[in-house]
């Protein structure tokens, strides 16, 4: 596995510390050096949450239902497929869905909200909106997608376009916007890492934040944990502390696409194919797991930092490896949004979708109660 050198060293070191149940001596030294920052971070998040809990800080509501999809850890829990699955179900109920995303990685991140898509199928440039927002707009062309750090302002903008329900992507820690349903996504293969706060661990806030959730979605229940005993203990801790309705799901490869998003074949067509995998996502192991589950023959992998802005030089080595092995260059849908247009014809994209294995009735009941169907089974033009 190849990684970019300087840009990913810190992330690789921290991930190694967060994932290791028995840190090495150098990892222990890194933890010790970061401990003061972790104490300050934990104290700050506790104070902020207490301010909202005691209503010293106000959560602002909007006039349509808001469904938040979030997690407790930094990156890689698999929120984006869950956001898509929830949005598709709401659209099937007849709602004009708006997805509100921070726009991370785009030039407009932290600025005034930007309409990535108004539901007409067009979208803003990836450099402006960020890769996640572009992926959401491409996958759900009929949905409104708005990106902006101020989620309340972004939601108001979406409502002005005609949204009847808001799906808040990565919204658990953004408490300024009131939500009517909080879906907590937990990666079953590594639920809490080492269980410590940033930066000595992956936790954005303490596990007590589970109390704010209304439903837990355990993702990747089919992936084998790197540390099974720790993962099992964390899952028990979460379920016992929460006592909430639970959905269990997997991420299932469905289609092979070109870099523009057009379907070329079923994902199963990769069985036996030689592939060079390239990605810049928070959890590259999940992408590689999907490829292995399809029976693809991975001859080389190139891993870049999350949200990495690819250029032609990044991909020169990738294409050279592919030529040497007569292999297909394959990436994720999120990465495809950041590929240089000059490389589109040489790359294929794997689409992965969230599939509910258990708890579908729980999910449908929660969504239907908050956002009742606007279409009926016997509506004109509806067939069984």
Confirm whether 58 is domain-assigned: no
The verdict on 232 and 343 lying in the same domain is no
What is the domain-level CATH number for residue 299?
Answer: 3.40.50
The verdict on 239 and 162 lying in the same domain is yes
Confirm whether 39 is domain-assigned: no
pLDDT, position 382: 45
Q: Report the alpha-carbon distance of residue 125 to residue 127 in Å, rounded.
A: 5
Could you tell me what percent of the chain has a pLDDT over 70? 91
Q: Is residue 179 a contact partner of residue 187, using CB atoms and an 8 Å limit? A: no
The verdict on 76 and 162 lying in the same domain is yes
pLDDT, position 220: 95
C-alpha closest to that of 66 among 215, 179, 183, 216: 179
Going from the C-alpha of 24 to that of each of 16, 27, 41, the distances in angstroms are 10, 5, 24
Q: What are 265-299's pLDDT values in tens digits?
A: 999 999 999 999 999 998 899 999 999 999 999 99
**380 pLDDT above the threshold of 70:** no
- Long-range pairs of 49-55 with CB within 8 A, sequence gap ≥ 24: 49/175, 49/205, 49/209, 52/175
Q: What are 185-235's pLDDT values in tens digits?
A: 999 999 998 999 999 999 999 999 999 999 999 999 999 787 888 888 899
First to last CA, the chain: 49
CA 164-170-171 angle, 5° bins: 65
3-state secondary structure of 103: coil
The verdict on 343 and 201 lying in the same domain is no
The verdict on 245 and 278 lying in the same domain is no
- Which string of b and e fits 57-92 if b means at least 16 CB within 10 Å? eeeeebebbbbbbbbbbbbbbbbbbbbbbbbbbbee
CA dihedral 65→70→76→82, nearest 10 degrees, is -30
Confirm whether 42 is domain-assigned: no
The verdict on 164 and 247 lying in the same domain is yes
Transcribe 282-346 into DSSP letters.
S-HHHHHHHHHHHT-EEEEEEE--TT----HHHHHHHHHHHHHHT-EEEEEHHHHTTS-GGGGGG
C-alpha closest to that of 330 among 295, 302, 306: 302
The verdict on 116 and 95 lying in the same domain is yes
Confirm whether 35 is domain-assigned: no
The verdict on 222 and 338 lying in the same domain is no
Q: What are 295-319's pLDDT values in tens digits?
A: 999 999 999 988 899 999 999 999 9
**149 pLDDT above the threshold of 50:** yes
Confirm whether 6 is domain-assigned: no
Mean pLDDT (the chain) is 90
Confirm whether 348 is domain-assigned: yes
Number of domains present in the structure of the chain: 2
| Mean pLDDT along residues 131-147 | 93
Compute φ and ψ for 203, nearest 5 degrees.
-75, 125
Name the token pair of 86.
Answer: 């929830």
**5 pLDDT above the threshold of 50:** no
Confirm whether 292 is domain-assigned: yes
What is the domain-level CATH number for residue 107?
Answer: 3.40.50.300
The verdict on 71 and 188 lying in the same domain is yes
Choose the weakest-confidence range: 18-27, 63-72, 297-306, 360-369: 18-27
Domain that holds residue 77: 66-251+354-369
The verdict on 314 and 363 lying in the same domain is no
The verdict on 346 and 365 lying in the same domain is no
Q: Which residue has the tokens 């469904």?
A: 67
Confidence of residue 6 (pLDDT cuts 50, 70, 90): very low
Going from the C-alpha of 183 to that of each of 168, 170, 254, 264, 323, the distances in angstroms are 10, 10, 24, 33, 44
Higher pLDDT pick, 121 / 181: 181
The verdict on 241 and 272 lying in the same domain is no
| Mean pLDDT along residues 171-178 | 96
Confirm whether 23 is domain-assigned: no
**22 pLDDT above the threshold of 50:** yes
Q: Is residue 83 a contact partner of residue 169, using CB atoms and an 8 Å limit? A: yes
C-alpha closest to that of 189 among 73, 30, 309: 73
């Amino acid at each position: 596995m190849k990684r970019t050198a300087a840009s990913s060293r810190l992330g690789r070191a921290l991930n190694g510390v967060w994932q290791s149940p028995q840190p090495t001596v150098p990892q222990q030294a890194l933890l010790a050096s970061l401990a003061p920052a972790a104490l300050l971070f934990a104290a700050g998040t506790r104070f902020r949450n207490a301010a909202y809990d005691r209503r010293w800080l106000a959560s602002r509501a909007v006039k349509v239902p808001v469904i938040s999809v979030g997690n407790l850890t930094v990156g890689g829990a698999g929120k984006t497929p869950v956001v898509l699955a929830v949005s598709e179900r709401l659209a099937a109920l007849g709602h004009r869905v708006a997805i509100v995303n921070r726009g991370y990685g785009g030039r407009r991140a932290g600025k005034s909200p930007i309409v990535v898509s108004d539901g007409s199928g067009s979208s803003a440039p990836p450099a402006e909106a960020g890769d996640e927002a572009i992926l959401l707009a491409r996958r759900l062309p009929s949905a409104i997608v708005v990106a902006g750090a101020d989620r309340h302002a972004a939601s108001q903008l979406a409502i002005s376009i005609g949204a009847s329900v808001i799906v808040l992507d990565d919204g658990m820690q953004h408490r300024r916007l009131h939500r009517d349903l909080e879906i907590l996504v937990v990666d079953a293969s590594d639920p809490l890492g080492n269980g410590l706060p940033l930066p000595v661990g992956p936790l954005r806030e303490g596990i007590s934040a589970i109390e704010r959730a209304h439903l837990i979605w355990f993702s990747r229940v089919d992936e084998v944990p790197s540390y099974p005993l720790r993962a099992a203990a964390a899952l028990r801790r979460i379920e016992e502390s929460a006592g909430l309705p639970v959905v269990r799901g997997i991420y299932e490869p469905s289609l092979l696409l070109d870099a523009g998003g057009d379907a070329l074949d079923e994902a199963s067509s990769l069985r036996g194919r030689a592939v060079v995998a390239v990605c810049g996502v928070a959890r590259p192991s999940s992408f590689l797991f999907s490829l292995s589950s399809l029976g693809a023959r991975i001859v080389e992998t190139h891993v870049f930092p999350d949200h990495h802005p690819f250029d032609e030089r990044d991909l020169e080595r990738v294409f050279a490896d592919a030529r040497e092995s007569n292999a297909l260059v394959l990436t994720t849908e999120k990465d495809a949004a950041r590929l240089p247009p000059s490389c589109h014809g040489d790359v294929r994209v794997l689409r992965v979708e969230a599939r509910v294995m258990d708890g579908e009735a729980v999910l449908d009941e929660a969504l239907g109660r908050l956002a009742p169907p606007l279409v009926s089974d016997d509506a004109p033009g509806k067939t069984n």
